[in-house]
Structure 1
Amino acid sequence: MNAVETQKVLVADDDAINREVLGDLLKPEYTVLLARNGAQTLERAARHLPDLILLDVMMPDMDGYEVLRRLRADPQTAHISVIFISGLDRPEDEASGLKMGASDYITKPFNATVVMARVALHLQVVRQRRMLERLANIDGLTELANRRRFDEIFAIEWQRARRNHTPLSLAVLDIDAFKQYNDRYGHPAGDRALRSVARVAYGAMRRPTDLAARYGGEELVLLMPDTDAANAATVMEELRAAVVNLQIAHEASPVAPMLSASIGGATLVPDGAELQYELFEAADAALYRAKQAGRNRVVWRGAD
C-alpha cells in the first residue's frame, strides 16, 4: 500500500567515536539515529520505533541489559530487534544477552564488514516478519487493517491515553443501505464500492498513529489518538462528504441518489474509571443516533 521506506537503525553507545564510526558506516544504506546513554536510547526507541538497535552493553547510567529489559517490557518497543555490541567477549556474556532477547552479539573491536553483514541479515528478517504480520493483519478486500489488528492497536492506544491523560477518539462508519446496493448492483459492484470507501477512509487518517480498519461487513472503524472531540468530528464530517463526493450511484437508497455513509463517534480521556469497551459502545450508540436521524450524517459524543 505504501512505498518502501528506508529502514531505521538506532546506534546506542556512550563512546562518541564508536557512534560516529557506526553511524558513518550505516548511513549510506539506512536512516541512522544516535543515542549516547540508556535513557536517550529508550526515549528515541519509543519516539522513532527503529527497525534495529545496535546497543552497547557497558554504559554509565544504565547498562545495555537494563535497556533491553525495559524495551521488552514496553509493548510499543518489545518487537524491536537488538544487537549487543560489547567489549565483553566471554561466552557467558554473549549467552546472557541472547537469553534476554537480543538478536545477536558483536564483540569490540568490531569489524566493519561483519557489522554490515549482520545488520543486513537482521533487517532482512525484520522485513520478512513485517510482511507476514501485515498479511495477518490486513483485510483482504479493503486492504485496511482487519478487526484483529484494530483490537490490538485499540488496546495499546487506550493504555497510552490513560497513562498520558490525553483524549482518544473512535468513530464507526456504516455505508447507508448497503444491502440494497448489493441487491441492486450485485456483490462484485458492492465490493468495488466498499474498496472505494475504504480508500477514502484510509486517506482521512493523516497521522501515523491514526488507524482505519474494517470491523465487519460494510462497517469501518476509525481510531484517532490524542484527538479531541471537535477535531475528530471535523475529520469525520470531511470523510462523510468525501464518500458522497465519490459519486457512486445508488438508485435503491432511501437516503440519497449517491452512496453515502453514517458515522458515529465518541471521545474519552481515560481516567481509570472507564473501561475500553465503553468508548466503542458510545461510538456505536452515536452511529445508531445518526441512522435514526436520517443517515448520511455524523453524530459525536464528546469527552465529559
Structure 2
Amino acid sequence: MYNLSVEYKILVVDDDKSNRQILTLLLAELGQVILASTGQEAMQKACQQQPDIVILDILLPDLSGYELINALKSEERTQHIPLIVVSASDSYEAEEKALLSGAVDYIKKPFHASILKARVNVNLKNISQRRMFEKLTHLDALTGIPNYAQIEELFNKIQHKCANDEKLLLAVVDIDDLARYNKLQGRHAGDRVLRLVAHALAGRLMMFNGHLVRLYDATFAIIMACCDESEAESVLSQLLKSVRLLELPVDETGNRSVSVSVGACLRSNTGQSTDVFRMLKFAHTSLQAAKNQGRNCFVLEQTKID
C-alpha cells in the first residue's frame, strides 16, 4: 500500500529520542528518514539535504515549532517544503496557529500508526503529482523535449557554466519542407518525422552536454558550450549526419523528402550575460542563409553581442 516508486526524503524533528525512533520505524517504508533533535539542526539539514517533507514537534529545546515553521518558510531553499506538525496539544488554537503558520497538516499525539502513515503518504503523493505536472508543463507534448518556455532558463544555465576559454553556441534547426510532407503524407506521418528528428538531435547533443528545445512547429533550438569555431562546426556536422542516417521516408521521385537546415551563432564568453532572444535573432538570420544555400546544411556566424 505504501510502496512508492520514488525515494522520498523525510525530515523528522523531535527532541525526544524515543519519538524519533518510533517515527523512523513507521516512516522508513515511505522513504529515507533524516533525524534532527533541535530547530537549528533541522534548519541546517533542511537546507543541505532538501527533504521532500518535514515532520516536526511543536516543543523543541531551542526554537518553538512555530518559529521553525516561520524560519523554513522564510528561507528560499526550504520555503517550498511541506510541513506536518505532530503535537501532544489537542487545542484548536494550537492546530489553527500551526496551519496559519504554513503547516499542511496537524496530527495529534498519541496517534494511530496507520493513520499517521496514511496522512504522510497522501502528502507525498501530492508532491509527486505536483512535480509531474510541473515537468509536463515544461516539456513539448509531441516530442518529449523541453518546450519554448524553458529556453531562457536552459540558456542561462549553460551561460553561467561557460568557462572563460569557452564559447556559447546557439543554433536554430528547421526541418525542411515538413509542411509539404504533411500535405502529401498526412499530419500523423509528419508528427512521426518530428519525433524522429528530435530524438536524433537530442541523443547526439547528450554527448556534448547540450540542450535541445522545440521552439515551434518544425523548428528547434540548440544550446551548448564549445571550445572554438572548429568544435562548433564539428558538432553541427554530426547533428546533420545524425538526421541523414535516420530512416526517413522518400518522396514520389525516390528522394528523401525530409532534411534539416541549421543556422548557428557563436559568442565568446566575455563574462557578461547576454539575452537568449538576441542570439536567436542572429541564429535565425544564419538559418535563412542555410536555406538560401540549398538547405540540408548549416551556416555558422561569429557574433559580437554585448
TM value normalised by structure 2: 0.66
Query: Who is 1:288 aligned against?
Result: 285
Tell me how far 1:92 sits from its aligned partner: 3.6
Distance 1:117 1:60 in 2: 30
Query: Who is 2:44 aligned against?
Result: 39
For the residue of structure 1 that corresponds to 2:264, the secondary structure is strand
Distance 1:301 1:23 in 2: 58
1:190 and 2:195 are equivalent in the alignment: no
Query: Who is 1:22 aligned against?
Result: 23
Distance 2:239 2:206 in 1: 12
Per-residue CA deviations over 1:198-257 (Å, capped at 9, x if unaligned) read 3334545759x9864432111224566xxx4449957766544433322314559xx977
Query: Contact 1:236–1:298 at 8 Å: present in 2 too?
Result: no
How many residues of Structure 1 are paired with residues of Structure 2 in the alignment?
280
Distance 2:90 2:270 in 1: 48
Change (3 A) 1:55 1:116: same
One-letter code of the match for 1:144? I
For the residue of structure 2 that corresponds to 1:27, the secondary structure is helix
Per-residue CA deviations over 1:141-188 (Å, capped at 9, x if unaligned) read 22334434x26xx35984x789xx544876543223433433454432
One-letter code of the match for 1:42? C
One-letter code of the match for 2:283? A
Query: Contact 1:139–1:146 at 8 Å: present in 2 too?
Result: yes
Change (3 A) 1:296 1:32: farther
Query: Who is 1:54 aligned against?
Result: 55
- Structure 2 unmatched ranges of 5 or more: 163-167
For the residue of structure 2 that corresponds to 1:28, the secondary structure is helix
Tell me how far 1:195 sits from its aligned partner: 1.5
1:90-109 mapped onto 2 (5 Å cutoff): 90-107=91-108
Higher Rg? 2
Change (3 A) 1:218 1:7: same
For the residue of structure 2 that corresponds to 1:260, the secondary structure is strand
Query: Contact 1:56–1:86 at 8 Å: present in 2 too?
Result: yes
For the residue of structure 1 that corresponds to 2:247, the secondary structure is coil
Tell me how far 1:69 sits from its aligned partner: 1.5
Query: Contact 1:7–1:51 at 8 Å: present in 2 too?
Result: no
Change (3 A) 1:245 1:92: farther
Query: Who is 2:264 aligned against?
Result: 264
For the residue of structure 2 that corresponds to 1:37, the secondary structure is helix
Tell me how far 1:42 sits from its aligned partner: 1.5
Tell me how far 1:8 sits from its aligned partner: 1.2
Tell me how far 1:136 sits from its aligned partner: 4.5
Distance 1:141 1:70 in 2: 39
1:176-187 mapped onto 2 (5 Å cutoff): 176-187=176-187
One-letter code of the match for 1:198? A
Distance 2:297 2:240 in 1: 7
Distance 1:240 1:94 in 2: 62
Identical-residue share of aligned pairs (%)? 28
1:142 and 2:149 are equivalent in the alignment: no
Tell me how far 1:11 sits from its aligned partner: 0.9
Tell me how far 1:102 sits from its aligned partner: 2.3
Distance 2:84 2:245 in 1: 50
Distance 2:33 2:169 in 1: 33
Change (3 A) 1:288 1:195: same
Query: Who is 2:72 aligned against?
Result: 68
TM value normalised by structure 1: 0.67
Which stretch of structure 1 is more off in the superposition, 13-22 or 184-193?
13-22
Distance 1:80 1:297 in 2: 46
For the residue of structure 2 that corresponds to 1:141, the secondary structure is coil
Per-residue CA deviations over 1:104-134 (Å, capped at 9, x if unaligned) read 1335666533331111111222334345445
Distance 1:210 1:229 in 2: 9
Distance 1:205 1:12 in 2: 41
Distance 1:95 1:156 in 2: 41
Query: Contact 2:175–2:258 at 8 Å: present in 1 too?
Result: no
One-letter code of the match for 1:68? L
1:125 and 2:129 are equivalent in the alignment: no
Per-residue CA deviations over 1:31-71 (Å, capped at 9, x if unaligned) read 445564312211221xxxx5433345547489522442235
Tell me how far 1:192 sits from its aligned partner: 0.8
Tell me how far 1:93 sits from its aligned partner: 3.8
Distance 1:183 1:32 in 2: 57
Distance 2:6 2:222 in 1: 27
Query: Contact 1:290–1:296 at 8 Å: present in 2 too?
Result: no
